[in-house]
Structure 1
């Protein structure tokens, strides 16, 4: 009886000693895989429980930004983008990781920060301190269905132009047969439709601001780009496109319902995974399209990263999960679980791209992905000079709201609720107001 009492006491004490960390994450497939593999983390750290809060991208940004800005402490870890990290670090919202690596030398040795791609590592650094580590990194590229192209008697260019993309879409589009010529993001959001559309505007010769912070959204380049986008999607896109973001288009493409899709390079692994894609044998890959103005700014640059909010009281436990989920061992675990190296989180580690197993599995797209990431120049994203950095975003705090607002105007033009001219007039006014009220325009 006494032994049972002692055992019960030990179990209760152990349960009380366990630390629960809450992770806020975008509901992308790679992050869902991370949640499924948490039992492997728990084997290594049985005293740490992990709880996930999955949200759509737009909602995630709103909730996490509000929580960290108000020091709410609702999350111990958050997936944050390349846009947010330096801004949040400057605001003092994130825990610097350098002291935690120094405090945990064994973890630091096995983690091997030098293996993380330098460009990604630099993007996560502010004032010489590292504030996040990448879960995956991406650029943009073109995906296409080789079977549909063959049936239409056309061949995808390795470096397509938007004009060629439109021509291909017209040949493939067969809505009565359940196939749409092209799928593009239409869901409003600075990280949704505006991520894709800004790269399009870049290649038409457009920019958000000139070097004096005068808004440029009423320029001929923006009008040409928006007119092209709206016409392309109305003629050859799926119905209800303003409700389609990355996740919805991934589903359409993987089910064989899209002839083409221009989006994040991370989708290459999903489309090559037999467990989630019906077009594994027919998916093809090409570079992101260029426009009539320039090839500059056609490849975006992005990474989803794990960061520790300053408000957490559980930074040690959060650090252990952060380093586990972004480690070399985790990447190998995903390959083992998925049964293919093509499905591992891409774009973060040099060792991944030197691994012969990955090269064999992802040979059809790995070079395009790596070259796209390397060629995306956040410091020179447009044909004409600009006062900001960022290919598919403007690196100012106000852009999260501004980009989403302009995304709503773009969606209005696509749905027919407004004209392109009206959308551009509203967008220009909103961008100019931000420049003035934000103190950028002197």
Structure 2
């Protein structure tokens, strides 16, 4: 993260990211250790060392970090050797699919075994984490000059929406690692041939899907996440729900999901997938959608912008150069309800005090 009045943090992140772009598409083993630093990483160590903290104060500690199989976490794994050299803390990564990581982490946190020092956390889970005191409040870490230098790591540099997603009652419990926004992704060539533009409304989105839907030639009109659960279809559906004017709670904080806007939102979602999505979409998450789009069998989808890394991967995609991007369509309520989301890193409250602080150094560095 960049510090106020300086671009040193952004340069660090950019340098580390660029050093591994060539290898980002190569899947790492399910359990890996930090790689040895490349020349670019070695250069970054001098910049990292400018923080006014003793990076070596927890030398000899080892931590395990759970992440999902994704390009941005592959990048982190590839450069983690630089952190090990800088701090003397050994880092072990475990890659767990999105559908399983939540359950595995809940078991670790609730049993207080402390297997994972930190993990790729879904923001939807922070209320549960905090209620049970499974993760550490991070304000004390941010304000401790022995382990934090606000002139080097400026927490307020992070977009407020992503910060608040990892906070409860204004107190931070996780540090965002990546940030995502949802976008409409479509096949430019297919749309141009059909004489249509990317949808400006959800009604038009369905009409576009119907016009290009051609399953006989292995082209389906649209796809959205269908797999049930937090971080699955509940990543995308709340935006549809709100775009139709749905409200989760009434003024008395009573759950209300059977109002007319709520019912119409659900009908729109179910009908789109039933009529224009590929068979089996009810079991699809974002990797399945991105893979299908990359193979040329889906004409349009709405999902995280980070999926662009898959559909533009020359090793996987057949549609490079044929991809267009557009904003979320408006709903009947007249709103574009684009979701923002992030994977973040909390500190496991079951760790020893020394390991907690070693984990905090890693989180700042990452």
- TM class, shorter-chain normalised? 0.7 to 0.9
Consecutive unaligned residues of structure 2, counting only runs of 5 or more, are 1-58
Q: Does 1:167 align with 2:176?
A: no
User: Which of 99, 102, 115 lines up with 1:58 in the alignment?
Assistant: 99
Deviations 1:244-269 (A, max 9, x none): 01121121123322110111233245
Match of 1:388 in 2: none
Distance 2:281 2:238 in 1: 17
Deviations 1:295-346 (A, max 9, x none): 16x2123221011111122123212221221xxxxxxxxxxxxxxxxxxxxx
Q: Secondary structure at the match of 2:65?
A: strand
Distance 2:230 2:166 in 1: 20
Q: Secondary structure at the match of 2:264?
A: helix
Q: Does 1:151 align with 2:190?
A: no
Q: Does 1:251 align with 2:291?
A: yes
Judged with a 3 Å threshold, the aligned counterparts in structure 2 of structure 1 residues 151 and 134 are, in CA distance, closer, same or farther, namely: same
Q: Does 1:316 align with 2:364?
A: no
Judged with a 3 Å threshold, the aligned counterparts in structure 2 of structure 1 residues 210 and 127 are, in CA distance, closer, same or farther, namely: closer
Q: Does 1:115 align with 2:154?
A: no
Match of 1:347 in 2: none
Q: Secondary structure at the match of 2:263?
A: helix
TM-score if structure 2 supplies the norm length? 0.75
Q: Does 1:222 align with 2:262?
A: yes
Match of 1:291 in 2: 331
1:14-413 aligned within 5 A: 18-45=60-87, 47-85=88-126, 87-101=128-142, 102-104=144-146, 108-126=150-168, 129-157=171-199, 160-274=200-314, 277-295=317-335, 298-313=337-352, 314-325=355-366
CA contact 1:308–1:315 (8 Å) conserved in 2: yes
Judged with a 3 Å threshold, the aligned counterparts in structure 2 of structure 1 residues 131 and 217 are, in CA distance, closer, same or farther, namely: closer
Deviations 1:49-77 (A, max 9, x none): 22222223232222212322332212101
CA contact 1:139–1:300 (8 Å) conserved in 2: yes
Distance 1:104 1:258 in 2: 52
Match of 2:53 in 1: none
How much does 1:86 deviate? 5.0
How much does 1:150 deviate? 1.4
Judged with a 3 Å threshold, the aligned counterparts in structure 2 of structure 1 residues 59 and 227 are, in CA distance, closer, same or farther, namely: same
TM-score if structure 1 supplies the norm length? 0.63
Aligned residues: 305
Deviations 1:362-387 (A, max 9, x none): xxxxxxxxxxxxxxxxxxxxxxxxxx
Deviations 1:129-173 (A, max 9, x none): 43221111223221111111112221224xx21111111111222
Consecutive unaligned residues of structure 1, counting only runs of 5 or more, are 1-16, 326-442
Distance 1:277 1:323 in 2: 34
Q: Secondary structure at the match of 1:295?
A: coil
CA contact 1:28–1:247 (8 Å) conserved in 2: no
CA contact 1:111–1:323 (8 Å) conserved in 2: yes
